[in-house]
Amino acid sequence: MSSLGGYPLNQTQNTTAKKHFVGSVCIDLLLLETSLYLMGKNEEEIEFETFCERKMGAALKYENIGFEVGYRLTERLTQSKMLGSELLDSVKFICKDFWNEIFAKQVDKLQTDHSGTFVLRDLNFKWLGMFSPGELT
């Protein structure tokens, strides 16, 4: 099983195997270089419309990469588990197992409006830690 952001990376399914760690700075730098690559890093000045097109194309590629990685990780994590067919079972899996694999902790709070809408709260969400609160709104 693998994990991101300074968390364990198991190379085998053996539970006695040593865990390897990847620093969160390495992951941040990888994501930065990936975004520059997807944007078509170019030193010359480009027109605003071309920049916007590149940005939208890069966002679409990033979304596709994220979907594929999430799908594969979920497939890997659910191989040894029996999940129920209820929506709540899937949400609990995300809150406990999936979140723990990615962030090495469980979701801080799960809220629902009892009509199928769930809100996951992580009070120390690492991926937004570099932004100031004013930039998030």
pLDDT for position 135: 52
Span 106-126, pLDDT tens digits: 899 988 888 878 998 988 887
pLDDT of residue 50: 77
**pTM confidence score:** 0.58
Q: 81 with 94: CB under 8 angstroms?
A: no
Sequence-distant (6+) residues with CB within 8 A of 27 are 4, 5, 6
The confidence score (pLDDT) of residue 99 equals 87
CA 108/CA 112 separation, integer angstroms: 14
Q: At what angle do helices 48-78 and 24-39 cross, to 10 degrees?
A: 130
Please give the Cα distance from 98 to 77 (Å, whole number). Answer: 7
pLDDT (0 to 100) of residue 98: 87
Query: Mean pLDDT throughout 7-15?
Result: 50
Per residue in 52-111, pLDDT (tens digit) is: 888 888 888 889 998 998 899 888 888 877 777 888 888 888 888 888 888 888 899 988
- Per-residue confidence (pLDDT) for residue 34, from 0 to 100: 84
Query: Averaged over 42-47, what is the pLDDT?
Result: 63
